[in-house]
Amino acid sequence: MSEKHLFETKAVRGASGGDERTGAISFPIYQTATFKHLGLNRSTGYDYSRLQNPTVEELEKTVANLEGGKEGLAFSTGLGAITCSIHLFKAGDHVIVSEDLYGGTFRLFSEIYHELGIEATFVDTRDLKAIESAVKESTKAIYIETPSNPSMRVTDIRGVSAIAKKNDLLLIVDNTFLTPYYQKPLELGADLVVHSGTKYLGGHNDLLAGFLVANDEKVIQRLRFIQKSTGATLGAFEAWLVLRGIKTLHIRLDRGQENAIVIAKWLKQQDEIEDVYYVGLEDGDGYEINKSQSSGFGTTLSFRVKDKNLVEQILNNVKVVSFAESLGGVDTLITYPFTQTHAEVPEELKIRLGVDEYLLRLSVGIENVQDLIQDLERAIKGA
Ligand SMILES: *Cc1c(COP(=O)(O)O)cnc(C)c1O
């Protein structure tokens, strides 16, 4: 498909615009573990679905096209993708990592790879000087999330990329929150993009998936090798679901964002609410930098209540909004990072990040926004 097509068209049509052989508009699900050989040393190009699968390939190409990358790799979960990326490093290597990080990624660095000799330094990556001073002889990469979760901190991707280039480091960006519809890290200087496809790309809270996208052929080859060796690849059916989800990515995000802006502004006016963290609020910390590197704010926001008891009251009383982990789907979800997504993060760091007993996170969906506000109002006011 022509590179000239714009994002929305690429999202709807996918990499190949359907099945060339039969004309099927919906790309077929190749639900098979293995493929028949034509003869000795004669392969169709497909041997075994951990190595190649046409549905998965269609999805990998689609995600790579959307991110503006050369190749994409699909995984069974976001953490499967992140694990693969960390395997680019070996014992003795050092990585600089955003301190406000998805809890599962924090656990990978601090508990799994730390024991295997890969050292991580967690820094506030909003502070470019802090990143520079964390660079040492053994540093191999910088790993960031922007906007971060749940504090919605914004990191200057171009600024970090300059530091990475100067020091010959790989820049890895988790782009789950804004997706390529709003932000394209590779164009801003990143070397590797990470996704939890479970979130906005899938978009319906009905599957788990993960992605890596890169441009450098050597990095891609190494990742492919690690991927087939470690095996957290995506199944054909899940791949098809993500392809279907991506077709509406832009309209889901635009509508969810519209709702999120209204809800963020409404929350700010409520007496019971201490503060609202959303990159779409013009008086927010990261607003300008986020605007300079992306075309949207996403649909995830956090807020702090004044009275700790309100947390339980809200979680127990929402009806349209569901109290559930995860984000990025058409359904609005509310979660309590302190004991849920960030259970693994040490208390001291949680407090520094503002992930305390007053903080709630909303992933705003595409329901009617008045229904959402009424639901939140009832839960907050205890009416
Ligand atoms: C959910 C999430 C992950 C992990 O993805 P899974 O699909 O749950 O394994 C990684 N990064 C971010 C930012 C996430 O929100």
Enumerate residues 6+ apart whose C-beta is below 8 A from 176.
78, 102, 145, 194, 195, 196, 199, 200, 328
Q: Is 102 a catalytic residue?
A: yes
- Residue 119 CA to residue 107 CA, distance in Å, equals 13
Measured at the CA of 221, the angle between CA 219 and CA 227, to 5 degrees, comes to 100
Q: What pLDDT does residue 5 have?
A: 83
Enumerate residues 6+ apart whose C-beta is below 8 A from 105.
79, 82, 97, 143, 145, 174
CATH of 249-381, one of 1.10.287.3510, 3.40.50.150, 3.90.1150.10, 3.10.20.600: 3.90.1150.10
- Backbone phi, psi, residue 97, to 5°: -130, 140
Q: Which of 199, 211, 341, 345 to mutate to test the pocket of ligand 1 (most atoms within 8 A of CB)?
A: 199
Strands (E), the chain: 71-75, 94-98, 119-123, 139-145, 170-174, 192-196, 210-214, 273-277, 300-305, 322-323, 333-335, 359-363
Amino acid found at 290: N
CA of 278 to the centre of ligand 1 (A): 19
**Cis, peptide link before residue 185, omega less than 30° from 0:** no
Q: Is the Cβ–Cβ distance between 184 and 69 less than 8 Å?
A: no
Please, what CATH class does the domain formed by 3-246 belong to? alpha beta
Q: What pLDDT does residue 348 have?
A: 87
Q: What pLDDT does residue 4 have?
A: 67
Q: What pLDDT does residue 2 have?
A: 45
Distances (CA, A) of 3 to 67, 68, 214, 374: 12, 9, 17, 44
- Do strands 71-75 and 322-323 pair parallel, antiparallel, or not at all (unpaired)? unpaired
Q: Is 168 a catalytic residue?
A: no
Helix axes 369-381, 249-268, angle to 10 degrees: 40
- Residue 313 CA to residue 341 CA, distance in Å, equals 19
Which residue in 249, 335, 333, 334 sits closest to 296, CA to CA? 249
Measured at the CA of 33, the angle between CA 27 and CA 38, to 5 degrees, comes to 90
CB of 104 within 6 A of ligand 1: the answer is yes
pLDDT averaged per 10 residues, the chain (length 383): 77 95 96 96 95 98 98 98 98 97 94 97 97 98 95 96 98 98 98 98 98 98 98 98 98 98 98 97 93 97 96 97 97 94 84 91 98 98 84
Q: Is 199 a catalytic residue?
A: yes
Q: What pLDDT does residue 297 have?
A: 96
CB of 78 within 6 A of ligand 1: the answer is yes
Where do the domains of the chain lie?
A: 3-246, 249-381
CB of 375 within 6 A of ligand 1: the answer is no
- Backbone phi, psi, residue 341, to 5°: -60, -30
Amino acid found at 373: I
